[in-house]
Structures are given as C-alpha cells and as structure tokens.
C-alpha cells in the first residue's frame, strides 16, 4: 500500500492549532471533513476517541497514530499534523508526541486499515526519515518527504 494513495498535500497541517490530545484529534478530523473526505465528522471523532480510550495510540519515538473506523467513508482517509510544540499523548515510552497521523477507514476495510498502519509504523522506525520529518516546519516539507520516501520504496 502506498500512503500517497490516501494522502494529499491538503491533508497535512503544520503547525496544528491544538495543544492537547483530544483537540488534536478533533482538528485533524475537521481537516478531513473540510476536504470532503469524511461525511460524518462527529461519528469519526467518537470512533477515534473511543479507540484512544482503550489504549493510547502514542506508539513512541514522538509518533501517535490515532485511528478509527466509521460508516460514511468511501475509502481510507489520512491526515498528518505536526503540533507547534510536542504534546502529551500518554505515549508508551512516556515521551511527548511530535507528529500525529490520523487514519480513518470504513468498517469493511480492515485489511487496508492494518496495511496503512503498518506502512506508517515502518516509515517512522527509520531514524533518518523520522529525524527529517520532525525537522520539517511546513506541511509541504512533510508531504514531500513522504513522497520521496514512497518513491524510494
């Protein structure tokens, strides 16, 4: 799965306006809704927040991948946000989050959902890529880094 199949430059925001976990999730869902990627933003917010309450999606190394499934999506949708300053996300390593990747999918696309989560996780385990994306200051820089990495394979 290629992440650029579900991500456009308009789906990346840096910096985010929000400064806490719940507000970041809401802001990113609203971003997708504003681009007509999500028809029922409140349903997605509820799904992502419910998932977040079962176990944090702050997976460590400054990354959080909040995600959820809800009706009304025609396909996978993804947004990437970079907080203005690292935020507390109750990450498993106790470190604040520097990048948030929100993934949304319809309930019947479990395999694609899992593949996208795995692809994001794999990219972010590469120290050099992670350092470059954390150093990026604009949405375009973040998108271009992903585009270059996707081309590289």
High-pLDDT (> 90) share of the chain, %: 82
pLDDT tens digits for range 40-82: 999 999 999 999 999 999 999 999 999 999 988 889 999 999 9
Judge contact between 80 and 7, C-beta under 8 A.
yes
Q: Using CA atoms, how far apart are residues 59 and 51, in angstroms rounded to an integer?
A: 14
Q: Is the peptide bond before 116 cis (omega within 30 degrees of 0)?
A: no
CATH architecture label of 3-152: 3-Layer(aba) Sandwich (3.40)
Domain spans, the chain = 3-152
Q: How far apart are CA 7 and CA 103, in angstroms?
A: 10
pLDDT at 142: 96
The residue with tokens 């650029």 is: 4
What sign has the CA pseudo-torsion 9, 49, 121, 83?
Answer: positive
Q: List residues with catalytic annotation.
A: 67
pLDDT at 140: 96
């Amino acid at each position: 799965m290629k992440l650029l199949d579900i991500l456009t430059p308009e789906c990346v925001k840096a910096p985010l306006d929000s400064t806490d976990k719940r507000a970041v999730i809401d802001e990113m869902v609203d971003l997708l809704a504003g681009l007509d990627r999500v028809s029922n933003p409140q349903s997605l917010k509820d799904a992502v927040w419910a998932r977040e309450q079962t176990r944090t999606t702050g997976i460590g190394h400054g990354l959080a991948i909040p995600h959820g499934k809800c009706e009304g999506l025609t396909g996978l949708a993804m947004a990437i946000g970079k907080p203005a300053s690292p935020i507390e996300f109750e990450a498993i390593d106790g470190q604040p989050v520097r990048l948030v990747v929100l993934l949304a999918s319809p309930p019947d696309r479990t395999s694609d959902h899992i593949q996208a989560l795995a692809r994001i996780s794999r990219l972010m385990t590469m120290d050099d890529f992670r350092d470059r994306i954390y150093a990026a200051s604009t949405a375009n820089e973040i998108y271009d880094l992903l585009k270059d990495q996707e081309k590289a394979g």
